[in-house]
Amino acid sequence: MYLDTSTNIVKLKLNDQMYEKDLGHDMAEKLLDFIHEKLQENGADWQDISEIKFMKGPGSFTGLRIGASIVNTLIHELNLNQPLVKINYGHPPNRTSPIK
């Protein structure tokens, strides 16, 4: 499985089939359902995932965090023999001083 959440348009690849869906501001709520729906369309389920590739960035801060959280959870829960993903935002964080 390949997953790209760097923009509002999620890209999911299962075997040789590519799927895209604009999840916009609903990505956190709908991403797992989208993945599961496409797995089922391919006659598969979560346990059939043997490897996950993730587009680590650069891209949308929130989209990458949502995608990485889901991918890392799947890697852990499915006991996949691969390292957890780390995100590359493309630049250091832009931190501002706290408001007093």
Q: Mind listing the pLDDT tens digit of every residue in the chain (100 residues)?
A: 999 999 999 999 999 999 999 999 999 999 999 999 999 999 999 999 999 999 999 998 899 999 999 999 999 999 999 999 998 877 776 777 888 7
What integer pLDDT is reported at residue 82 of this predicted model? 96
Domain coverage including residue 26: 2-77
What integer pLDDT is reported at residue 89 of this predicted model? 78
Q: How many folded domains does the chain comprise?
A: 1
What integer pLDDT is reported at residue 93 of this predicted model? 66
SS3 content of the chain, % helix, strand, coil (to 5): 40, 15, 45
CATH code: domain of residue 55:
3.30.420.40
Location of structure tokens 């040789």: 16
Q: Identify whether 89 is part of a domain.
A: no
Q: What is the pTM of this model?
A: 0.88
Q: 3-state DSSP call for residue 76?
A: helix
∠ CA 68-94-54, nearest 5°, is: 15
Total residues belonging to the chain: 100
